[in-house]
């Protein structure tokens, strides 16, 4: 789950809240100010007491120098990975940061093909790639790409922070049996419940996606009609 607190008192309270909700992996966004980012991470680590793993995500925001400064000052305590330090197109900057990092680096935005996965596998310090269904187009292609990454020694995280219920459910199904780490397919929680388009909604509790026995994906046609802005008839 994402984490928003900045001040120490807020950090302590939010940590207690998300852990009480069942989350065991917490994503921390950084990238605005190296010194303040390190201070925030340190406060989180000091209050975490091993109750969860941390994923740090710069979301392409650091320059090469900033990324290097950040990883040099970062304590590895409870940190599972550091995601996308620098711009997606700047492979060299990300590689430089990865070589200096004491925690595994995960590349996200530049990974859109098997060629990108192979390129990432050759970078010292890059141990993971983030894959998304929307980038690999089909279930079979994403599954093939996960297996290919594993064959190269890379760990894979799946998930889309902007995914709808359907997308998140499909990614979770793909991950089942292939991925052992925590998925990030909870993007649909950002959509107001009344705007979600499944007639039998996916439940999210205790940090897990949950569906009932014999659950089937079914679209609420009235909601789909309500939120549609364009239609095209493919066949009759």
Residue-wise over 169-189: b if at least 16 C-beta within 10 A, else e? bbbbebbeeebebbbbbbbbb
Look at residue 1 in the predicted model and tell me its pLDDT: 67
Q: How far is residue 53's CA from residue 18's CA, in Å, rounded to a whole number?
A: 12
Region of 78 on the Ramachandran plot (φ > 0 left; ψ -120 to 50 alpha; else beta): left
Q: How far is residue 208's CA from residue 185's CA, in Å, rounded to a whole number?
A: 10
Domains and CATH numbers, the chain: 2-189 (3.20.20.120)
DSSP string of 97-115? HHHH-SS-EEE-TT--SHH
Q: How far is residue 133's CA from residue 208's CA, in Å, rounded to a whole number?
A: 19
Which DSSP state fits 219?
B
Alpha helices in 26-90 (DSSP H): 34-48, 64-73
If we measure between CA atoms, which residue out of 87, 80, 36 comes closest to residue 58?
A: 87
Contacts of 110 (CB under 8 A, 6+ apart): 88, 89, 91, 94, 116, 120
Find out whether 73 and 45 touch, Cβ atoms under 8 Å.
Answer: no
Query: % helix / strand / coil in the chain, to the nearest 5?
Result: 40, 15, 40
Look at residue 13 in the predicted model and tell me its pLDDT: 92
- Cα–Cα separations (whole angstroms), residue 59 to 16, 80, 93, 110: 25, 16, 14, 11
The residues of the chain scoring below 50 in pLDDT are none
Q: Reduce the DSSP state of residue 93 to 3 states and report it.
A: helix
Look at residue 220 in the predicted model and tell me its pLDDT: 94
Beta bridge partners of 178: none
């Amino acid at each position: 789950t994402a984490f928003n607190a900045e001040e120490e008192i807020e950090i302590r309270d939010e940590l207690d809240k998300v852990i009480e909700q069942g989350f065991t992996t917490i994503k921390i966004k950084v990238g605005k100010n190296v010194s303040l980012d390190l201070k925030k991470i340190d406060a989180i680590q000091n209050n975490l007491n091993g109750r969860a793993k941390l994923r740090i995500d710069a979301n392409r925001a650091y320059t090469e120098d900033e990324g290097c400064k950040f990883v040099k000052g970062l304590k590895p305590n409870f940190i599972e990975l550091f995601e996308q330090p620098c711009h997606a197109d700047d492979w060299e900057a990300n590689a430089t940061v990865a070589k200096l990092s004491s925690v595994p680096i995960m590349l996200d935005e530049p990974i859109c093909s098997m060629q990108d996965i192979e390129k990432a596998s050759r970078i010292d310090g890059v141990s993971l790639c983030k894959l998304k269904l929307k980038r690999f187009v089909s279930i079979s292609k994403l599954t093939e790409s996960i297996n290919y990454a594993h064959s190269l020694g890379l760990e894979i995280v799946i998930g889309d922070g902007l995914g709808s219920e359907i997308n998140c459910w499909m990614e979770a199904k793909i991950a089942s049996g292939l991925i052992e780490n925590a998925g990030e397919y909870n993007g649909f929680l950002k959509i107001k419940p009344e705007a979600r388009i499944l007639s039998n909604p996916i439940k999210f509790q205790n940090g897990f996606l949950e569906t009932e026995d014999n659950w089937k994906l079914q679209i609420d046609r009235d909601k789909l009609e309500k939120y549609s802005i364009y239609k095209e008839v493919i066949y009759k």
